[in-house]
Amino acid sequence: MGDLTLLFILFAPFVGAIALIFVSNRQTMLVRGIAAGSAFVSLLASLYLFYAYDPVKGGFQFIQRFEWSRQLGISLHLGVDGIGTPLVLASSILLFAGIFVSWHIKDRTKEFYIWLLILAAATIGVFMSLDLFFLFFFYEMSVIPMYLLLGMWGSHTKTYNEMTDPEGLKLRDSVKFIFNFGSNSKEYAAMKLVLFLSAFAVAALMGILLIYKYSGLNTFDILVLREQAKLMNIPVLGTTLDKIIWILIFFGFASIAPLWPLHSWSPVGHAAAPAATSMLHAGVLMKLGHFSIIRVAFEILPETTRELMPIAAVLCMFSIVYGGFVAYYAKDTKYVIGYSSSSHMGYVFLGMAALDYISLTGAVMYMFAHAMATAMLFAMAGWVYDQTHTRDIPSLGGLSNRMPFISGCFVVGCMASIGVPGTVNFIAEVMIIVGSWNKYPLQVIVAVVGIVLTLAYLFKMMRGLFYGPMDQKYSHAHDAVSLPDRLPLLIMITVTIGFFFFPMHLYNVVRSGVDPLIAKITRVVPVASQEHEPLGMNREARAHASPQDLAALPGDVSPLTPYMSRSDQ
């Protein structure tokens, strides 16, 4: 596969979507086969990419570049580093799993799979893009499929389904539902998602265009801009240009993360979306915000990032606590998992804000781990809804007798989301907490409280769904028995548990992307050793470093691997 790996991963879903255009909806198995086949090609190529990536070499690998406009300095420049590689793998896993989670969809099956494939391909494109133009292009491309998947295949909440229009007709049975944007309708959820993401994407675009204009380099190439762009100390509106650009980039992309108070579109979108869309939404779409901030703000504006990143450290506390409390009191399964996801994204921002080797490595690993855990929960919430036609937790209960496999998998999903030992989430959470403690002890305490909240609301939801007495009107519900029904859950569980027992390749890959980034931001002089080890600061660099630079350094000993070279020790 070699140099074409990224092209296989990116374009296999697009090819599958194009092929589906020429297939009739009456050929259901052919439609499913094409969708699953294209997703499987992308998954195989992603697995090859993940294990072929050389963490000793580090940097951007598997690079492909196709010039699009020489005059404008735009090219389809693809490549992955240690941060993008695991996220590409997560996207491919969730696409393949989502195809099977949606195996029983009968309403316009072909169109559903076309948009699902395009959505996944768009997220993969963001994780691969080394050109700001195409990074933003793929970022915006993900919005269109989300709107259609929510608006056409989504579902209203229980409250909305019970509402009637002035003539006494139920809104879901009335023609007026097309024009209704009441807060419980799927149309409202789809429109709110588009308005939020598009509005803040304009802010991010303004930041990108300012980088393009004032860098003077006539290029959108990230690798060129990070080495040559000089945006510091240009006075604008009583401040400097680099700060204005950083604010535009950060908040423009933080909306999709979603960071409080820009989060309100996300849980509503989760509640309305079909299961596979919720999986991709929570698993990888939300990570586009963190990744884009890392790729643009961290890479191109490292000094400004060091100065302004405490903003994220403050806001992440509100994300963690607010999302946790709302999830605890929510009665809709998807709202619980949706607000849980918003809460957990605060942990990623905490790991990013600390600007520490351990914390940022943990944050990237947590993005990967959270993708698997939350996707599992959404897949099972979708199964319960398909069987009972309700997401109202108080009206359910006792389903473990009817769904032993689903209830067992749900326990694993909850354990992973909490971060129990035995799941890769545990490793990532510990790294975020340990790496952030020296710089942000208050935020770490809030994060630990958030873990307790997570345990409370997930156990509450699990008890409400699967234990206690069961209403006999749900006696027809049945378990996931067939291979297409069980396969996606087994894949995600295997990944979650497998990377706990064998984490080192994931850790080394991520660390190879984090090391040079943190070294650049904190002005740490990298030390080369005979064997590949994380970058640190040698004696000479320590002697000439400022107190702030030394304070930003991690401890001398990492839980997994040392920071300094052997000669320095």
Helix or strand or coil: residue 344?
helix
In degrees, to the nearest 5, what angle opens at C-alpha 57 toward C-alphas 294 and 39? 65
Q: Measure Cα distances from 192 to 146, 270, 280, 282 in Å.
A: 11, 12, 18, 16
State the pLDDT confidence band at 184, using cuts at 50, 70 and 90: low
Q: What is the tens place of the pLDDT at every residue in 454-477?
A: 989 898 888 888 888 877 887 788
Check residue 218 and give its pLDDT. Answer: 85
Check residue 304 and give its pLDDT. Answer: 87
Q: Where are the beta strands (DSSP E) in 140-296?
A: 235-236, 239-240
Q: What is the tens place of the pLDDT at every residue in 511-523?
A: 998 988 898 888 7
- 358: number of Cβ within 10 Å: 28
Check residue 161 and give its pLDDT. Answer: 47
* Cβ partners under 8 Å of residue 526, min gap 6: 515, 516, 519, 535, 536
Check residue 325 and give its pLDDT. Answer: 87
- 180: number of Cβ within 10 Å: 17
Check residue 322 and give its pLDDT. Answer: 87
State the pLDDT confidence band at 9, using cuts at 50, 70 and 90: very high
**Higher pLDDT among residues 560 and 257, named by residue:** 257
Check residue 497 and give its pLDDT. Answer: 94
Would you say residue 285 has pLDDT above 70?
Answer: yes
Structure tokens of 550? 């030394």
Check residue 167 and give its pLDDT. Answer: 54
- 425: number of Cβ within 10 Å: 27
Q: What is the tens place of the pLDDT at every residue in 293-329?
A: 999 989 888 888 888 888 888 888 888 988 888 888 8
Span 78-106, average pLDDT = 90
Helix or strand or coil: residue 78?
strand
Q: Where are the beta strands (DSSP E) in 293-414?
A: none
Span 5-12, average pLDDT = 91
* DSSP percent split of the chain into helix, strand, coil, nearest 5: 70, 5, 25
Burial 548-560 (b: 16+ CB within 10 A, else e): ebeebbbeeebee
State the pLDDT confidence band at 165, using cuts at 50, 70 and 90: low
Would you say residue 163 has pLDDT above 60?
Answer: no
Check residue 166 and give its pLDDT. Answer: 54
Would you say residue 13 has pLDDT above 90?
Answer: yes
Residue boundaries of the structural domains of the chain: 317-521, 527-569
Q: Tokens 């950060």 sit at which residue?
A: 250
Cβ burial, residue 83 (10 Å; 0-12/13-18/19+): buried
What phi and psi, each to the nearest 5 degrees, are found at residue 530? Answer: -65, -35
State the pLDDT confidence band at 348, using cuts at 50, 70 and 90: very high
Structure tokens of 482? 């067939």
Could you tell me how many residues make up the chain? 569
Average pLDDT for the chain: 81
Check residue 562 and give its pLDDT. Answer: 33
DSSP H stretches of helix in 389-502: 404-418, 424-437, 441-466, 483-501
Amino acid at 431: M
How far apart are alpha carbons 531 and 312 in whole angstroms? 35
Task: Give percent above pLDDT 70 in the chain.
Answer: 84
State the pLDDT confidence band at 237, using cuts at 50, 70 and 90: low
Span 23-47, average pLDDT = 90
Structure tokens of 451? 């873990």
Q: What is the tens place of the pLDDT at every residue in 136-162?
A: 999 988 888 888 888 777 676 545 444
